[in-house]
Structure 1
Amino acid sequence: MTTLAPNYAPLPIEVASAEGAWVTDTAGRRYLDCLAGYSALNFGHRHPDLVAAAKDQLDRLTLTSRAVGHELLEPFARAITSLTSTEMLLPMNTGAEAVETALKAARKWGYETQGISEGDATVVVAENAFHGRTTTIISMSSDPEARAGFGPYTPGFRIVPYGDADAVAAAIDETTVAVLLEPIQGESGVIVPPADYLRQVREVCDSTSTLLVLDEIQSGLGRTGATLTQDLAAVRADLTTLGKALGGGILPVSAVVGRSDVLGVLTPGTHGSTFGGNPLACAVGLAVARLLETGRYQARARELAPVLAARAGDLLAGGHVTAVRSIGLWLGVDVATRTGREVSERMASRGVIAKETHGATIRLAPPLCVTQSELHLMMDALESAVSP
């Protein structure tokens, strides 16, 4: 009998070591990792710069708590706000914590600056979104699997169809403090909205004095060919949540970045975290910022995007999948003749790690260090796995 809670159903692979885009299991078999920790491993496994930053910091200081300061906290905040063209950063640990922080800041901002009555604040969110699994976050979820059995739920959310800016506008009233969206819906299967969607939502938020909060925990930090996916739409959110790749695949690091007048409502005692902004996290986060400042990883995603899109198009033309969606180095595939689990297992037997999401959809997100030949290897395995 296992002593591990059964909240995951992993593939029968036990990883023992990894480097770059490849992992090796306990039996010595190598796999191309095309899940990449749900984009936490954008820079690959054990990137030497990130490992060196962590090792150096481990020899000096790992945790102070925020009861005192340390020499890396302000440099980390400056580096990430500079990278994202934002004003202020609030550090946390996990993506869900970053979303919760953004929600708290938005509500408090609404009460203090917009005259909304305490307890009445509402937030507009998108159908089929994924922002985490805390009780408050599942209260805005339309996914029965994530939501059922965990009530009572937190009120104050209005769910509208994703990709429909008119529906966002119709849901906003005098109680609305924010619109919370993913620029690309990752967990739902790499759902890409209409090209003008973010711009239109930005205009709606501007005209109604509503905050735009964009969850870039999966879509951000190079995955789609830009530092932030909102950059592709020439839009800047009022608050942006970051996570996953911010920790370089080494430890959990997350943050909310955005307007100083909004994050500034979180004064001493109103919000905090024991590990948020710890020295080890800041050391790794600074090294992540240095990698992204070169533009190399964003450029690689842009360069390989047409290769991935072309192979996905060929797959669709072959008739064994019903839809493909790609942006940068991110691909969602709806399977026609098998379950997503079956396809994942067949890909694993061919030396490629992928994972289903929502039954019949495969989500692929190889590390941004992947080569063109490795990308073809991934697509060859996928093509074989969906074929009879």
Structure 2
Amino acid sequence: MMSQPFAEVYDRRANSFGALRLAFALAVVLSHSAALGFGRPLMQRVDLGAVAVAGFFTISGFLIARSARRTSVPRFLWHRALRIWPGLWVCLLFTAGVVAPVLFFERHGTITGLWWSPNGVFDYLRQNWWGGLRQFGIADLLQGDTPYWRWQGGNTINGSLWTLAYEIFCYLLVATLSALTLLRRQLRWLPLLAMLAVFGVLCWNQFRHGNAEQGIWLTGEIGPLPMLGALRKDSLLWYGFMFLAGGAAELYSDRLLINDLLGVLAIVVSGWLAVHGSFFGPALLAYAYVVLWLAVRLPKVLHRVGAANDYSYGVYIYSFVVQQVMAKAGVQALGLVGFFVASTLVSAGLAMVSWHLVERPALRLKNWTPRRPREPSDETTAGGSAPATVSTASVTASSSWHHA
């Protein structure tokens, strides 16, 4: 039960963040299995999918803050773009170019009118291309004949994508903080102060309003913002806090104490509040500690999960559309467990294809740097030819700049 600073027990090459990300993705699939397959929530008191997304944002806040502190702002933004957009774009193209025509033909016997009609394929791609989920459905593909439609009236073909706008917003926030040098050790108290201020709002909403709709920053939207569209204030408050908590943990990893007794207590507190319907309040701070504690305390065998191949993003972005198609095809006849297993296997297969053919090849471009235009030599400027040989020092300098 000894306490150790997080910086001492965390190993960036041997931790359970990969296993946790995959577990959170599967938790989302399980939660959506009930909603999309059977038109009901998985649990009445707590939304397992929302809890999993909160865990995602905690991990993201920690890792993104660490990345921003070790790279320049342009390089940081380049890395984030490579991680989010290629996988998203191929998922959108798969949904619009493969799934939508099949469903539209099954409904109408033709694909005429699918492409350029209002809310058609090209509108879907144009509205959602940059990460903001502005158009939820395509034409009338899922109207009337899916459990989710009968429950919520939603013609949503891939609802999982809505969180990406909040993730990208947090990336831009970190990039701004980094550009203003607010992530440096001397100024790290400012992000911590922001996290504490948001936590104060969560506490106020919980104890003054009971997390009711009249609480601070729980109603309305901000935006629409460029590329991202409108963001709901409550989601931005809750998931933004988790991102800030993860980021603050990275900034203060030398002072954040990891204690097993405190970790177990945090599990009990966050779990107890969750089952009593009060998860999105002060429980979020305890839950953030749980995520970080598990990252360094889970068995070492789990350190291998996601270390070489990270399928969690693919599972997350493909599972919703897979489950909608399966629900339309009647796969829910297998029962909740069968529906979950079947949709997980198909989603995992698509995630593997996405990782090996799209995401990992894109990430190989992380160190790419645009070449500077070569400056003409004096001889070239004067009309002569450039010298045939270049000094070793010039080659070394040019190579070092290109690979920095």
Structure (1 or 2) with the larger CA radius of gyration: 2
TM range (shorter): under 0.3
- The structure carrying a bigger helix percent of its residues is 2
- The structure carrying a bigger strand percent of its residues is 1
Q: Tell me the TM-score normalised to structure 2 length.
A: 0.23
Q: Tell me the TM-score normalised to structure 1 length.
A: 0.23
